[in-house]
A and B are shown apart, each in its own frame.
Chain A
C-alpha cells in the first residue's frame, strides 16, 4: 500500500513536470507567434497605401464566406488589407473546400463562396432558392499556375509535354530514362530510376483542373473525364497540396502537382511545359496570366465562368492554370450583407486588390475579363 502510494506520488510529480514543461514550451510558441503577427501586420500596413482605394460605404458588421482553399492565401491578404481600411467590418473566410463553400452558399449561411470550379447546373438550380429573384453566378477573381513538381537527384530542370505528362501520371511511362522524356530533354543525364507519381488523395479542384488540361491536350493518352477525384488507377496519393509537396520533396524519383506557392516555399523544381511555343514555358505568375488572357467567358447573362484555353501555344503562356471564382447572387442577395459583399469584392477586383495576387504567388485576372467582373459587382443587388 505504502509503496503504491509513493509511486502514485512520483507519477503525479512526473506528470506535473511534463505539464509544466509543456506549458513553458507552448508559452514560448505563442509568444513567437504574436511577435510574428505584429511584424507581419505592420509590414503589410506599410506596403498597403492602397487602403485609401478601398471604399467601405455601407459595409458593416460581419461577413461570412467559405470555400476553396486554393485561394486561401489571397483572400487572407485581402481580408487583412480590407479590415485595416474599414474598421468595424469583419470578413471571415473559412477555407474548407469548394464543395463545402457552395453547399454553405446554397444554404444561405455565407455572403459569398469561393470555388475553384464554376457552378454546376444543379448547383445553380439550388441557388435559386437562396437568391430569391436571381441565381448564383461565378466571378473569376484569382488565377494561378498549377506547378508540376519533381524530385530527381542530379536533374534540376526538366521539360515535358502534355502527352508525356499524361503517360507519366497514368503510370504508362515507368522509368525516368524513358525515350519520350529523353527526347524532350536532350543533353540531360536521366537516371534509370522508377517514376513515382503522386496525386491528391481527397477530391480537389486542383486535380480537376489538371485533368481538364490533360484531357484537352494529351489526346488519346489521357482518356479520363476531368473530375475532382483522381481518375487513374496507378500512382500514390497524399492528402492536400501540402501533403503532395512534402512527398515530392521527400521521395527521390517522384513527381506531383500543386499550386506554385508550395513549390517555391519548399524549393521544389518544377517542370517546364513544351506547349508547342518556341521555348518551353516555366510555371510562374506572369506566364499563368498570359494563358488566362486567352480564356473566353462561357457563362451566360451575368455569369462570368471562364472557358480556359488549355491548348494555347502563345509564347510564354503556361497552360496548366486554375481560376477560382467568388460565387454570389446576381440579384436577391441578402440585404444585410449585400453592401459588405459589394464593397469587399469591389476591392478584390480593383487594381490594388489584383496587384496583391502576384505577391502571394497567384496570377491576376486579365484586364478585359476583370473589367466585366467589376461591372457585374457594381450591378449586384
Chain B
C-alpha cells in the first residue's frame, strides 16, 4: 500500500547534498553517487518504456474499436465488429469508491480520535496495531470472506434500506438478487481502506501541538470541545490526504471486487441491484480468455485507471504539500 503513495522523487537528496560538498574525495563516495544517480535514471527509463509500450498497445486497440471507447456500454473485443467502451467501468469504479469513502472516512476518523485522544494507553497501541493488521490481509481473502459471509448477510440490510430509504432512488431495489452489488463492494472496500486512513489520521492527530490542546483545556473546554476546536481543524488536511490515499487503493482493488461483484455492462444508480463493473475487476475477469485485441483493449482501460489514480494521488500530494509544515504524515 505504501507503494501506491507518492514517494519523494529520488534526485532530491543528492541535490541537497551538493552545497556542503564535504566529500573527502574518496572513490567510495563517487561510486555511491554514481550508483544512486544511475538507479534513479534507470528507474525513470524503465517507467518511461513501460508507459510507451502500454500507450502503444492501447492506441492500437482503441483505433480498432468500432464502438466509442468513452461511451459504449459493452465490452466485446472478440466480437465482430469489436466493440468496447469504458463508461460502465469508470462509473462503477468511481461509485464503489465513493461508497467506500463515505463509509470508511467517518469510521476511520473516529477510530483515529479514539486511539489518539480517548483510549487508555494500554488499549491504544494494541488497537492501532490490530487496525494496521487489516492492511496485511491479502485482498483475495477479503474477496472470499465477502462472497461467503458478507454477501449472504447483507440481504437483510438491503431489504431494510429498500423499505425505508427506497425513496432516495439510490437505495431502491428494483431487481431480485442477492447483494452482489456496487454497494456491497463499497462496504468491502471501506473495510480494506480503513487501515491506511486510520493510521495516517492518527499520526496527524498526534501531531497537534500540545500547547493548543492544553490552552483549550485551561479555558474550560471539554474533551470533545478540544477535539472540535483544535484537533480537527489542525488535522483536516491530513485527514483529507489520508482519505485520498485510501481512495487510491479503493480505485485499484481487483480480486476482492472480482469475487464479490456480479458484473454487468449497465450503468444504474440503484446501488443495491446486482451489476456494474470496475476497471481492475474487468481486467481480472477478461484477461484470461482475451485475444490479442482484447488484451490491448484491457491495457487501454488500465491506462484510464492509471490516469484516474494519478489524479487522485496528485491531489493528495498537493494537499499534503500545502500543509507540510504541520503534517508528520508525509513520510
**A residues at B contact (CB < 8 Å):** 3, 7-8, 10-11, 14-15, 18, 96-100, 103, 174, 194, 196, 201-204, 227-229, 233, 236-239, 243, 246-247, 250-251
Contacts and interface: CB of A to CB of B under 8 A. Distances in A.
Contacts, number: 86
Given A196-B177, A236-B178, A243-B259, A14 B288 contact: no
18 contacts: A3-B121, A10-B126, A11-B129, A14-B126, A18-B133, A98-B289, A100-B288, A103-B291, A196-B177, A201-B258, A202-B285, A228-B78, A229-B75, A229-B78, A236-B178, A236-B274, A239-B258, A243-B147
A18, A96, A203, A246, most chain B CB atoms within 10 A: A203
B119 to A, nearest CB: 11
Contacts of A100: 288-289
A99 B291 contact: yes
Interface residues of B, number: 35
Interface string B39-74: 000000000000000000000000000000000000
B180 interface: yes
A219 B207 CA distance: 71
Interface in B172-226: 176-178, 180
Given A18-B133, A227-B78, A236 B262 contact: yes
A7 B264 contact: no
Contacts of A7: 121, 124-125
A203 B288 CA distance: 8
Given A10-B126, A99-B288, 7 more contacts: A11-B125, A14-B129, A99-B289, A201-B261, A201-B263, A229-B75, A250-B148
A7 B125 CA distance: 6
A228 B288 CA distance: 12
Contacts of B148: 246, 250
A355 to B, nearest CB: 31
Interface in B259-273: 259, 261-264, 266
A239 B125 contact: no
Contacts of B288: 96-97, 99-100, 202-203
Nearest to B285: A202
A292 B294 CA distance: 32
Contact of A11 (B79, B126, B147): B126
| Closest 8 pairs between A and B when the two form their complex, measured CB to CB | A203-B289, A7-B125, A99-B289, A97-B288, A194-B176, A236-B262, A202-B285, A237-B262
Nearest to B125: A7
Contact of B180 (A103, A174, A233, A236): A236
B324 interface: no
B290 interface: yes
Contact of B178 (A99, A196, A203, A204): A196
B129 to A, nearest CB: 5
Nearest to A253: B176
A46 B71 CA distance: 60
B133 A202 contact: no
A239 B144 CA distance: 12
B177 A236 contact: yes
A23 B259 CA distance: 27
Contacts of A227: 76, 78-79
Contacts of A14: 126, 129
A246 B147 contact: yes
A194 B176 CA distance: 7
A107 to B, nearest CB: 11
A98 B291 CA distance: 11
B11 interface: no
Contacts of B266: 233
A243 B275 CA distance: 16
B110 interface: no
A202 B287 CA distance: 9
B37 to A, nearest CB: 35
Contacts of A18: 133
Contacts of A202: 285-286, 288-289
Nearest to B264: A237
Contacts of A98: 289
A247 B151 CA distance: 10
A99 B152 contact: no
Contacts of B151: 250
Nearest to A208: B289
